């Protein structure tokens, strides 16, 4: 992972986003290499330093851990800030613990009815209000959640990419940014500059995996590395392991091995550990903290959902026959394509060998 940019000087749109007034809700969009999360963090810091009470909501715990580390170590904010940076589940878990007098286990948001969500927010708004709420990866939240959060503040800043939905429950129901601009009068800003993925990779991935009725907006790429994107079909797991080992031993790449749907991750982990040594291979889930992970000179085995928001030099995707039948698999493969800075390779297994 690259060091967080503490100053933004070369991107006028990002500066507009960071400094946008609170008189109108804000939606910031476009593709995953444009530093939307960086802009969201800078906006949070600016508002916090102005004395505003700000809530930052994100999708998973690893992203929360990374944001907190940036806020505490880089921006030197107070430890108290931890209460204001939450995943959606932990935020609603906090409200549930206040709302219910018993010690029941808090529900995940996607397990709650709309009536439960409404009741919780209607209760919470009587005891807590925010000057602003910032939501990162909003494409994985629902309109009903947004409309409830609007009860807690006079300003919401949303950061989203409609092509990166990983919440399978929203693939057919997510609300686009045009709706927010036209129906809810949000201020709309686009980020264009590409800070991560070589243009050749994302254009090729877009042509492979994204629907023809979607537009790939031009982005100015600052990446000048050589790139490589390959597809290998009908290959067995032994050949894949041999390939990965060869690349790693030759180049010491910091490889990630993604499985869209893990059938037996322990089996793959065992095979890789035996070939390269346990110290060089790591399984990773979204519950792990970033500081516990060595992102360099390691082969890390993880899943599609756990890979969200992370970026790496090299990415390998294993696709089983079962995966090929999954609904919206092309959306998943496009998201994985955006995780790389240099190389990505898709392996299509010829049977469910994992």
Per-residue pLDDT of the chain (354 residues; tens, 9 = 90+): 556 677 787 788 889 999 999 999 999 987 767 788 889 999 999 999 999 999 999 877 878 888 898 999 889 999 989 999 999 999 999 999 999 877 788 998 888 999 999 999 999 999 999 999 999 988 777 888 889 999 999 999 999 887 776 655 444 445 677 778 878 889 999 887 777 666 667 677 777 777 555 555 544 544 444 445 566 666 677 777 887 787 777 666 666 676 655 555 677 788 888 888 888 888 776 666 665 666 666 787 877 777 766 777 778 888 777 776 666 677 778 778 877 777 788 887 766 555
Give Cβ neighbours of residue 216 (< 8 Å, ≥ 6 apart): 202, 203, 206, 210
pLDDT score for 138: 82
Q: How far is CA 48 from CA 56, 167, 209, 308, in A?
A: 11, 30, 40, 26
Q: What would the pLDDT profile of 113-142 be if each residue is shown by its tens digit? A: 999 999 999 999 999 999 999 999 887 778
pLDDT score for 279: 83
pLDDT score for 245: 80
Same fold, 12-190 and 199-349: yes
Architecture of domain 199-349: 3-Layer(aba) Sandwich (3.40)
What is the CATH topology of the domain spanning 12-190?
A: Rossmann fold (3.40.50)
How is residue 218 written in tokens?
């031009």
Of 131, 119, 152, 134, whose CA–CA distance to 59 is shortest? 134
Of 250, 192, 253, 263, whose CA–CA distance to 221 is shortest? 192
Q: How do the domains of the chain map onto residue ranges?
A: 12-190, 199-349
pLDDT score for 251: 64
- Its sign, for the CA torsion 260, 265, 268, 272, is positive
- Cα 282 to Cα 284: distance, rounded to the nearest angstrom: 6
pLDDT score for 299: 81
Q: What would the pLDDT profile of 246-281 be if each residue is shown by its tens digit? A: 777 766 666 667 665 555 567 778 888 888 888 888
């Amino acid at each position: 992972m690259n060091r967080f940019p503490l100053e933004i000087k070369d991107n006028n749109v990002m500066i507009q986003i960071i400094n946008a007034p609170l008189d109108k809700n804000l939606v910031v969009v476009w593709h995953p290499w444009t530093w939307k999360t960086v802009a969201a963090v800078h906006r949070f810091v600016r508002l916090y330093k102005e004395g505003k009470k700000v809530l930052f909501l994100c999708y998973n715990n690893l992203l929360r851990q990374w944001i907190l580390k940036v806020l505490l170590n880089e921006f030197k904010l107070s430890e108290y800030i931890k209460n204001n940076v939450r995943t959606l589940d932990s935020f609603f878990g906090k409200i549930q613990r206040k709302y219910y007098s018993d010690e029941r286990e808090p529900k995940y948001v996607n397990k709650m009815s709309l009536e439960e969500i409404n009741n919780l927010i209607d209760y919470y708004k009587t005891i807590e209000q925010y000057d602003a709420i910032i939501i990162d990866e909003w494409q994985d939240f629902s309109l009903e959640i947004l409309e409830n959060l609007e009860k807690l503040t006079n300003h919401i800043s949303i950061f989203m990419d409609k092509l990166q939905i990983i919440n399978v429950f929203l693939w057919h129901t997510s609300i686009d940014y045009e709706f927010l601009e036209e129906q809810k009068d949000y201020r709309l800003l686009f980020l264009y500059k590409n800070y991560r993925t070589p243009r050749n990779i994302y254009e090729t991935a877009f042509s492979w995996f994204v629907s023809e009725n979607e537009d790939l907006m031009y982005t100015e790429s600052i990446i000048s590395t050589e790139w490589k994107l390959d597809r290998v079909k009908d290959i067995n797991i032994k050949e894949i392991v041999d390939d990965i080992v060869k690349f790693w031993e030759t180049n010491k790449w910091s490889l990630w091995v993604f499985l869209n749907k893990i059938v037996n991750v322990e089996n793959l982990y065992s095979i890789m550990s035996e070939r390269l040594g346990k110290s060089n291979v790591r399984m990773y889930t979204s519950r792990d903290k970033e500081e516990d992970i060595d992102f360099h000179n390691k082969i890390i085995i993880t899943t599609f959902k756990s890979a969200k928001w992370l970026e790496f030099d090299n990415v390998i995707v294993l696709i089983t026959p079962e995966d090929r039948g999954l609904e919206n698999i092309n959306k998943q493969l496009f998201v994985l394509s955006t995780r790389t800075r240099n190389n990505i390779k898709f392996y299509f297994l010829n049977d469910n060998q994992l």
